[in-house]
Amino acid sequence: MSDDPETISPRPSRRSFLVTTGTTAAATVVGAMLPAHANRSNEQSGSSSAVLEEPKVEGAVQIVLRINGRDRNLRIDPRTSLLDCVRESVVLTGTKKGCDHGQCGACTVHVNGRRVTSCLSLAVMHEGDEITTIEGLGTPEALHPMQAAFLACDGYQCGYCTSGQIMSAVALLKEPCGPDDAAVKELMSGNICRCGAYANIVAAIQQVRKGS
C-alpha cells in the first residue's frame, strides 16, 4: 500500500480507496460486521469495489431490507445495528456514526417515515420496513427543500451531524410542532452539533416550514 494515494494510477476516489483498504483490514480481523460484498452499491462513487472473500461469521442471517425504495439482499450478523448495516453492508455512508448510543442523533434515518436513531436498532428487526437515508432524500441535482435550506442558511460547519440534522428536520415537518423557534429547538434537541450551528439549523427549518 502506498503512503501517497496520489501516485496510484488510475487514481482511486477517496471513498473507493477507503472502502477497499478498510474491508481488506476487516476481512483479516473479522469483527462484528459482515460486509455483504456482493450487494455493495456504488451509488456514491460510481466505481466498483474490490471483490473479496466473504468472511465467515457464525450465526449470520439472510435478510432483505428495503432502503431508499430498493430491496437489498444482505447476509449479516444479527448484532449489526441498522446504522452499521446501512454504512458498512450497503455502503450508504451519508448516515454518520457519532456516539453509537442514541445520544447524538448523527445516525438519524427514517423508518416508515418516522425518524429513529439507527444505532439503537438492529438491522434484523427491519425486514418489511421502508428505510430512508439521506441518500434517498434528494440528489445533488434535485435537492430536497430541506437540503437546499441548509445550504442557503449555512446550517453546518464541519458537516458531520448534518445528514442526521436534515433527516430529523424533514421528519419534524410532519410532527406536531409549534410555530416558534423554541418549539423547533425542543424537537431538534436529539441532534447534537458540536460546531454550534444551531441558530442556522433552526433558520433553515423555519425557512422550509414557512415555505419561503
Partner 1 sequence: MHTFEFVRADNVASATNTASQARTAQQGADIRFVAGGTTLIDLMKLEVETPARLIDINRLPLDKVEDLPGGGLKIGATVRNSDLAHHEKVLQNYPVLSQAILSGASAQLRNMATTAGNLLQRTRCMYFRDTAMPCNKRVPGSGCPAITGSNRMLAILGTSDHCIATNPSDMCVAMAALEATIHIQGTKGARSVPIAGFHLLPGATPHRETILEPGDLITHVTLPPPPSGSKQTYLKLRDRASYEFALASAAIVITIANGKITFARVAMGGVGTKPWRSHEAESVLLHQTTDDATFRKAAEAALRGAKPQSENKFKIELAKRCVAHALKTAANA
Judged by the rule CB under 8 A, the positions of this chain that interact with partner 1 are 32, 58-59, 61, 77-79, 81, 100-102, 105, 108, 114-117, 120-122, 124-125, 168, 171-172, 175-176, 185-191
The alpha helices in 79-175, defined as continuous H runs, are 82-84, 145-153, 162-172
* Closest CB to partner 1 among residues 30, 151: 30
Residue type, 40: R
* Closest CB to partner 1 among residues 92, 119: 119
CA 193 from chain centre, in angstroms, equals: 16
Residue type, 192: I
**DSSP H/E element including 203:** helix 198-209
Hey, what's the cell of 150? Answer: 441548509
Can you tell me the distance from the alpha carbon of 98 to that of 192, in angstroms, rounded to the nearest whole number?
9
Shortest CB 114 distance to partner 1, Å: 5
Shortest CB 159 distance to partner 1, Å: 20
* Closest CB to partner 1 among residues 154, 186: 186
Shortest CB 202 distance to partner 1, Å: 13
Shortest CB 56 distance to partner 1, Å: 14
What is residue 51's DSSP assignment? P
* Closest CB to partner 1 among residues 73, 189: 189
Shortest CB 205 distance to partner 1, Å: 13
Q: What are phi and psi of 160, to 5 degrees?
A: -65, -35
What is residue 118's DSSP assignment? G
* Closest CB to partner 1 among residues 19, 167: 167
* Closest CB to partner 1 among residues 59, 140: 59
Can you tell me the distance from the alpha carbon of 167 to that of 114, in angstroms, rounded to the nearest whole number?
9
Shortest CB 66 distance to partner 1, Å: 16
> In terms of C-beta density within 10 A (0-12 exposed, 13-18 middle, 19 or more buried), how is residue 211 classed?
exposed
